[in-house]
Each structure stands twice: as structure tokens, then as C-alpha cells.
Amino acid sequence: MIDRLTDLRAGPDQDKDSEDGSERGVATKVRPKTKKPSMWRVILMNDDYTPMEFVTSILMGIFKKTSEEATAIMLSVHQKGVGTCGVYTFEVAETKVAQVMDAAKRGQHPLQCTLEKE
């Protein structure tokens, strides 16, 4: 779909070609219609067994949080049961969830992580 930008022409017939084929008037720009991608929240769940240090290392390594941010998110999840690691486009969010689940599996921790549409 093509969408014409605000028409900047001064008046009627300004963009019409002359009989001799020459062109007059102000060119109007066209832009392809784009859509904002829907965003997805990556959620971390609390459990009784995953070590706190493992969770903070996940938040730093996969979600690029600082040590302070990672500790705050981890403690919030620990206290409230769930928490947000970040909000991303679908492919990025899906990849991060897979990375968390893979790391948890490798470390033999029951840590759970899911996606939620914003």
C-alpha cells in the first residue's frame, strides 16, 4: 500500500503535465505504509529452588541489565511472584525466552520464563 504524504501543491493542476509532455508543479513524496510491530513482555516467574545469583546472572547476561537492575528485578520477582525482564518485538522476546529456558535446563533449575503480548 502506498500512502501520499501531505499534499504540498499550491493549487489545482500544479502537477499536471503540459501538452508538450514537460512536467510542472511540486513533486509529492510517497512512502510505503508501515505498521508499528506489536511488543511482547518477557516475564520471569518465581520458584523456591533457583538460586538468586543464577537469576541475576540471567538478567545481566540475556537481558543486559546492570548488576543493580538485575538484583532489583530478581528481588521483585522473589517477593511478588512474577516480574518483567523487558519488552521486545516478538522475535527478540521469543529468542530471549528460549535462552532463559535453555540456561535453566542446563543448570538444572526450575526457572520459568514466558511471553505476554503488550
Question: Which residues of this protein are in contact with ligand TYC, per CB under 6 A?
Answer: 44-48, 50-52, 55, 74, 77-78, 111
* The three-state (H, E, C) secondary structure of 83-102, written as one string: EEEEEEEHHHHHHHHHHHHH
Contact call for residues 63 and 92 (beta carbons, < 8 A): no
Judged by DSSP in three states, 82 sits in strand
- The DSSP 8-state label assigned to residue 23 in this structure reads B
DSSP H or E run through 31:
strand 30-32
Q: Which is nearer to ligand TYC, 74 or 93 (CB)?
A: 74
Task: Give burial (CB, 10 Å; 0-12/13-18/19+) of 109.
Answer: middle
Taking the least distance from each CB to ligand TYC, the nearer of 39 and 72 is 72
CB 102, min distance to ligand TYC, A = 16
Between 50 and 97, name the residue whose CB sits nearer to ligand TYC: 50
What's the closest the beta carbon of residue 4 comes to ligand TYC, in angstroms?
A: 50
**Shortest Cβ 86–ligand TYC spacing (Å):** 14
Residue 80: CB minimum distance to ligand TYC, A: 10
- Residue closer to ligand TYC (CB basis): 34 or 108: 108
